[in-house]
Structure formats: C-alpha cells, structure tokens
Amino acid sequence: MKKTTKIIICCLAFVLAAAAVVGGYVGWNLTYHPSKWLAEGDDSIEDIPFEEALGQLTMLSNTWEEALPQTEIHDLIENHFASPLPEGKTAKKAIVIGYDGCRVDSFRLLSTAKRSAVNHLLENGGQGVFSYCGGVMYPAENTQATSTAPGWCSMLTGVLADKHGVNNNGQPKSVDPKTLLISLVEDGTINDSAFYVSWDGHFSKKDATYINEKNYVKENGLNVVFKRAFFDAGTKRNIISDIKKQDCSDFIFLTLEYTDHEGHSSGFGPQNAKYVSAFRNAEDAGMDIIEAIEDRETFASEDWLILITTDHGGIGGGHGGASFEERMTFIISNKEIL
C-alpha cells in the first residue's frame, strides 16, 4: 500500500472514531434514559378528551376552573423569603425546577410511576395545583402568547406581558421589571442566585429575553450566575454541582427542555410514547436534583421551597395559541400552596 493511501485510511479511521465518540455523546444526551420509572409497557396512554383527562388528576388540590395564574410562582418565592425562619432552621433556600412545555395531563402517568419528582413532593407534605398561562383563564381569549419567554418571564417578574414587555421569544426584556434572580439579591434578601438552562433564548443570544439583565449583573457585580449547557443532562450537572457546594445558591431557577423539544418534534401529550419518554426524563432529572438537595449535610437546618412547574402546554407539534391544551399548567410544591 502506498504511504499516501495509508495516511488517508488512518485519517478516515480517526475521523470516523471521533464522529462515533461525539455522536454517541450527543445521542446519549438526547435520549437520556437513566431509569425506567413507569410500569412495564406503559409508554403511552389512551387519547381521551382533554377536559376528561384533567378530571382524572385528583392529586391536584384544585379544579382546572380554579387554576391559579402562573405569576403565583413569583409570589410563592417572595413570600417564602419574606416569612420568618421556622424553628430549628437557620437558612432559607428556593428552587424552581421548570419542565418546559410539559402538558399537565402527563400526570395521568404518575399513578404507575416508580420514580417521580412530582409524586415525591406530593407524598412528603407538598401540594399541587392547576395553574394557567396566556394571561387570563381559559376559555377567555388569552392576552399573552402561550410561549416560552412570556411564560417564564411572568413567573420571574410576577407581572404579565403588558408590564414586562416580553410578548414572545426573541424580545429582550428591559432591566425593569427585574426578575427575582436580581431583585432578591439586590435588596439583600438573599446572597446569590443562579439561572441554569440549555435553551439559548434565555440569555445566550443578542435577542435573548434576559440579555439586558445579564449585562446589568456584570456591570453591577451582583452575585447572579447565568449558566447555559448544551443539553439538559449538562443543565442537571451544573445544578447538582451548585447544590453540592456547602454554600449553594440561595435561589436557583432552571428549565429542562426534554418535553418541549419532544413535543415540537413528535407531538405534545401523553398519547405520544416519545413525549412520555421525555416526561420520564424530566421527572428523573427533577428527582436527581431533589435528592441532591435532600442529601445536603445542612439540609435539616435549611428551609427549602421546592417548586416544579411549566411555562405552557402544547397541541399537535406546537404552542403559542389559545387552546385548552396549551393554556393549562401546574405548580407542584414541597409546601402547601392554598
């Protein structure tokens, strides 16, 4: 064999090996299945009318007609930090675990779940409620898009798009009104906060929602971390390494994209086996995060507020509109909400 041929073959072999390693890593991250928490064969469930499905969700403490606005998240966190420390506790902490684009009727699967963050909170003194996005309760015409940026922004600022100005993705919010990540640090309520994501629309692009806040934090030297990973598995790793620090961030906000990505690619809702698998991945990551919190050496002396929520539902391969399936959301807490 000629020397040049050998070199070409070696180069090709190297490129193929590198592609296999990178492809394997990417593939593993996209189809991350650490454990099977659903019962055997329970990969999708019967497609029933949405309202009937909501009626089956008896683990939630209100009815969908009594759903709370998603801005409730803001108030729950603010009240948590404003309330006095319970006896025996020396520090307050809060975390919002966001499952982006998670349809609430996926909770129909939880009765057979072997490992679920939502079940864990509900079974240990917590409470769950229906909430809604879109500005006003369904079936009234929504006043803001059931999209990612307006939804999370309403939770982080406590106001709707008419006040925070984020009507859709790709619209940077002005610094005011400030999110809890900044306001709580700036007024001295907490020492530090952290925002962990993989979606680049939050703060990693020129037109990202919180790009102005990120610059403001840098200019003012505030203890607020903005950290983006390439995939949800990386987001989870970033959070867990924060939680493992003795002096972890006082307020952590994160979004996991499993359900939103799968909904856009193959359809939103638990009638879709692939969407169920994405929900399982979100729940597994949620549980890993909660276990890391409960494993903290100082956990017994800390007063944690742990919330799981979503920004919007979805229908078909999308969201943003006014349908029932897009409007209903949920708030799960490790404490009582109502």
Residues in contact with Zn ion by CB under 5 A are: 100-101, 148, 260, 311
How far apart, in whole angstroms, are the C-alpha atoms of residue 264 and residue 313? 11
Minimum CB separation from Zn ion for residue 231, in Å? 16
Query: Which residue, 268 or 304, is less far from Zn ion as judged by CB?
Result: 268
Query: Which residue, 148 or 309, is less far from Zn ion as judged by CB?
Result: 148
Minimum CB separation from Zn ion for residue 10, in Å? 46
Query: Which residue, 100 or 262, is less far from Zn ion as judged by CB?
Result: 100
For every residue of 211-259, DSSP letters joined together read HHHHHHHHHHT-SEEEEE-SSHHHHHHHHHHHHTSTT--SEEEEEE-HH
Residue 316 region by backbone torsions, left for phi larger than 0, else alpha for psi between -120 and 50, else beta: left
Query: Which residue, 126 or 320, is less far from Zn ion as judged by CB?
Result: 320
Minimum CB separation from Zn ion for residue 260, in Å? 5
How far apart, in whole angstroms, are the C-alpha atoms of residue 148 and residue 137? 18
Minimum CB separation from Zn ion for residue 11, in Å? 42
Query: Which residue, 126 or 150, is less far from Zn ion as judged by CB?
Result: 150
**Nearest residue to Zn ion, by Cβ distance, number only:** 148
Output the CA–CA distances (angstroms, integers) from residue 213 to 58, 149, 334, in the order listed.
39, 14, 29
Number of residues that this document lists for the chain: 338
Minimum CB separation from Zn ion for residue 154, in Å? 12
Question: Distance between terminal CA atoms of the chain?
Answer: 77
Output the CA–CA distances (angstroms, integers) from residue 249 to 95, 224, 225, 246, in the order listed.
9, 9, 9, 9
Minimum CB separation from Zn ion for residue 150, in Å? 10
Query: Which residue, 284 or 311, is less far from Zn ion as judged by CB?
Result: 311
Contact 210, 217 (CB under 8 A): no
Query: Which residue, 127 or 148, is less far from Zn ion as judged by CB?
Result: 148
Query: Which residue, 277 or 310, is less far from Zn ion as judged by CB?
Result: 310
Strand order in the sheet with 251-256: 68-69, 127-132, 328-333, 302-309, 91-99, 251-256, 193-197, 224-228
Helices 273-294 and 258-266 cross at an angle (nearest 10°) of: 180
Query: Which residue, 101 or 269, is less far from Zn ion as judged by CB?
Result: 101
How far apart, in whole angstroms, are the C-alpha atoms of residue 248 and residue 78? 19
Minimum CB separation from Zn ion for residue 291, in Å? 25
How far apart, in whole angstroms, are the C-alpha atoms of residue 279 and residue 117? 11
Minimum CB separation from Zn ion for residue 314, in Å? 8
Minimum CB separation from Zn ion for residue 87, in Å? 39
R_g (Cα) of the chain, nearest Å? 21
